[in-house]
Amino acid sequence: MSTCVYRAESDKSIAQFVTDFTQLVTEKGFTIHNDGKMAMKDIFTAHGQEVAEGFDLHMIQLCKPEKAAKSLSSNPERSVLMPKFIMAFTQNGKTQVRMLRYGRELIAELVDDAEFPGSLEEMFDVLIGLIDKAA
């Protein structure tokens, strides 16, 4: 698979999508690093920045500590492609979800590691399944 922006859409509110997604990823051993701090409006406002009315972008930062600890202990260069970020925002009355999915070729080009491209591709497949289920 080539590198792409994975796109999903949901009729759920962002709050409901995040709640459902959090439950699903937690059951699969993931953690959300920025739980409670993913609403970018709050972050920008805390730094004195104004945002457009209705701005509701949520940046969800995911990690699977059990897998990441082993992976990064094996090769710290892998860290450039970890953790994963899922973006959720409202557009045209629906929750939009986006994730940058790196393709095998790009992964191999960025990190000289024979095992990593396949492992990371599998992780993206898992995340896409969880996004689809939460949406």
Q: Is the pLDDT of residue 1 over 80?
A: no
The H or E element spanning position 80 is none
The amino acid occupying position 34 is N
Which fold, 4-134?
Answer: TATA-Binding Protein (3.30.310)
- For the chain, what is the mean pLDDT? 93
pLDDT of residue 30: 94
Residues found in the chain: 135
- Domain definitions of the chain by residue range: 4-134
Q: Is the pLDDT of residue 133 over 90?
A: yes
Q: How far apart are CA 59 and CA 34, in angstroms?
A: 8
Contact 89, 95 (CB under 8 A): yes
Helix, strand, coil share (%) of the chain residues, nearest 5: 45, 25, 30
pLDDT, tens only, 28-39: 999 998 888 899
